[in-house]
Amino acid sequence: MGAILVAILVAPFVVSLACLKVPLVVAKALSLVSGAASFGLAVALVPSHEVTTALSGWLRVDALSVVFLVAVTFLYAATAVFAVGYIQPGGGAAEVRYSRRFFAGLNLFAWAMAMTPIVNGLALLWVAVEVTTVVSALLVAIGDTDGAAEAAWKYVLIASMGLGIALLATMFMYYAGSTVLGGSYELFYSRLLGAAPRFPPEIVRLSFGLAVLGFGTKMGLVPVHTWLPDAHSEAPTPVSALLSGALLTVSFYAILRFYQVTVRAIGPAFPRDVLLVFGLASLVLAALYLASQRDLKRLLGYSSIEHMGILAIGMSFSAPIAIVGVLLHVLAHAAAKSTAFFGAGNVIRKFGTKDMDRIQGAVGALPLSGPMFLLAILALSAMPPFGIFRSEFLIVEGGLSTRATALSAVLIVLVTLAFFGLSWYASQTLLTPTSDSVAPGEVSPWMAGSMVLGLLALVVLGVHPPAQLSGLLERAAAELGARR
């Protein structure tokens, strides 16, 4: 099994380097193969009940790691399919160079995000998240427009400040460990978790609070979310899908690793309260902003903030069923948001604008991707039979089981408000009559085909998740110290 971890890290990195030199058609083929292979290797880890390590323990996956690795590699594979149709350069040398740099960056970004749940220890985790920042900022700015440059610069400034705070959180956790493990030790998860009950409570509280604020910047939690709508709006559509579906969730993974240690050191009350505050603030702001958007990709960006808030609130409930719902939500949101961005990419290519006031009748103009985009919006709005309905149902059930009735009611109200905002503007874009000046037809079969993958995953997650996947989610919830 250790060889699988090495292969997942080696393949995207090697393909990224190759994309800079090989012909574009080869770069596309290599990206498709690497994405599919990475996802297949991640799925092969799902049935394992053992912790898998490699490279003398520097690489390590447990059930929690595998959940996030499956989400990242699925998005990698689906985005590679979409990018084949999205990147269609003309004959100019500059366009070919752009296309090669794009595929190199796409594979490097996937490599960095896959590395995050695979590396062992809080220090390496911070390094991996920092690498994702550098690569993703370059991809946001790759369009070389004023808007893209401004969004990338804003992203780098805010994310760097956040990761500086996250580094401070890591240092405080190291100090807490040094009181038990000595002045020099590796921040491996097993060592921290084993010694956590003897850590100084005050230092652990400080570390966790800083970790949520620091990594929450990359996750898009309010009030450190301001980079997110701009970056999602200005980045190329495949990058927007990876930012929303994968980057935000691997940042959440980093918070969960600190959560693991904190729960074992001081119990669930403090981390629950911290996550609840950030989660409620994020959900309230997103629900309000969703009702006033005109930019199609910014609309989806604020939807991402909404769902990150749901994840934080779900973890604050602490009940095992709520945590299972949170982890299922990670997978379902990755599939739904990537599919929605792919649909938005088709619409923007067809109409030549992101302004929803200027887009009319997308379902009629795009016979395949238009209806699938509508289904993706419904999935994001937690409509059955899709996976997000199931995950949010489990989260609410977990809240009710812990007698957090008022919070569960607030969650339902805010999610409903967000649903109205998201569905209203999407329906105005999709379901209105199509202009006679727009000829019906798909932009690319590859771009439409990528959406099929996400919708199939959403139906499977919503109707009947495979037994092995359900077992994985339950084991991951137990690793997080779910209170019974």
159 and 305 housed in the same domain: no
| Dihedrals phi, psi of 319, to nearest 5 degrees | -70, 145
CB 329, CB 310: distance < 8 Å = yes
Could you list the beta-strand ranges (E) of 348-401: none
Indicate if 294 and 252 belong to the same structural domain: no
Query: Count of alpha carbons within 13 Å of 386, Cβ hemisphere only?
Result: 25
Query: Does 189 share its domain with 202?
Result: yes
Task: Report the half-sphere exposure of 264 (CA within 13 A, side-chain side).
Answer: 22
Residues 141 and 417: their CA atoms lie apart, in Å, by: 33
Count, residues in the chain? 484
Query: 248 and 283, same structural domain?
Result: no
| Peptide bond connecting 47 to the previous residue in cis, omega within 30 degrees of 0 | no
Residue 437: its pLDDT value, please? 73
Taking the C-alpha atoms of residue 360 and residue 433, their distance in angstroms, rounded to an integer, is 6
Question: Given 118, 144, 165, which residue is the final one in a domain?
Answer: 118
Q: Can you give the pLDDT at residue 91?
A: 62
> Is the domain of 3 the same as that of 29?
yes
Q: What pairs with residue 355 in β-bridges?
A: 295
Tokens, residue 190:
């097993």
pLDDT of amino acid 373 = 94
The pLDDT value given to residue 482: 53
Residue 44 and residue 165 in one domain: no
Half-sphere exposure (Cβ direction) of 159: Cα atoms closer than 13 Å: 25
Cβ-in-10-Å burial (0-12, 13-18, 19+) of 206 comes to middle
**Claim to verify: residue 473 and residue 374 sit in the same structural domain:** yes
The stretches in the chain having pLDDT less than 70 are: 90-91, 482-484
Q: Could you tell me if 241 and 323 lie in one domain?
A: no
Asked whether residue 286 falls in the same domain as residue 377, the answer is yes
Residues 249 and 320 in one domain: no
Q: How far apart are CA 199 and CA 186, in angstroms?
A: 16
Assigned token pair, 39 = 């996802």
User: In the prediction, which pLDDT does 483 show?
Assistant: 46
User: H/E/C letters for each residue in the chain?
Assistant: CHHHHHHHHHHHHHHHHHHCCCCHHHHHHHHHHHHHHHHHHHHHCCCCCCCEEECCCCEEECHHHHHHHHHHHHHHHHHHHHHHHHCCCCCCHHHHHHHHHHHHHHHHHHHHHHHHHHECCHHHHHHHHHHHHHHHHHHHCCCCCHHHHHHHHHHHHHHHHHHHHHHHHHHHHHHHHHHHHCCCCCCCHHHHHHHHHHCCHHHHHHHHHHHHHHHHHHHCCCCCCCHHHHHHHHCCHHHHHHHHHHHHHHHHHHHHHHHHHHHHHHCCHHHHHHHHHHHHHHHHHHHHHHHHCCEHHHHHHHHHHHHHHHHHHHHHHCCHHHHHHHHHHHHHHHHHHHHHHHHHHHHHHHHCCCEHHHCCCHHHHCCCHHHHHHHHHHHHCCCCCCHHHHHHHHHHHHHHHCCCHHHHHHHHHHHHHHHHHHHHHHHHHHCCCCCCCCCCCCCCHHHHHHHHHHHHHHHHHHHCCCHHHHHHHHHHHHHCCCCC
Same domain, 366 and 288: yes
- Cβ(199)–Cβ(177) under 8 Å? yes
Residue after which a domain boundary falls, among 118, 142, 174: 118
Are 345 and 421 part of one and the same domain?
yes
**pLDDT in the model for residue 46:** 96
Q: Residue 6 belongs to what domain range?
A: 1-118
The model's pTM is 0.95
Q: What total of structural domains would you count in the chain? A: 3
What is the C-alpha to C-alpha distance for residues 9 and 65, in angstroms, rounded to an integer?
14
Query: Of 267, 287, 313, which closes a domain?
Result: 267
Q: Which amino acid would we find at residue 317? A: F
Positive or negative torsion for Cα 323, 325, 326, 330:
positive
Residue 31's alpha-carbon distances to 27, 66, 243, in angstroms, are 6, 22, 18
* Distance, CA of 188 to CA of 48 (rounded, Å): 21
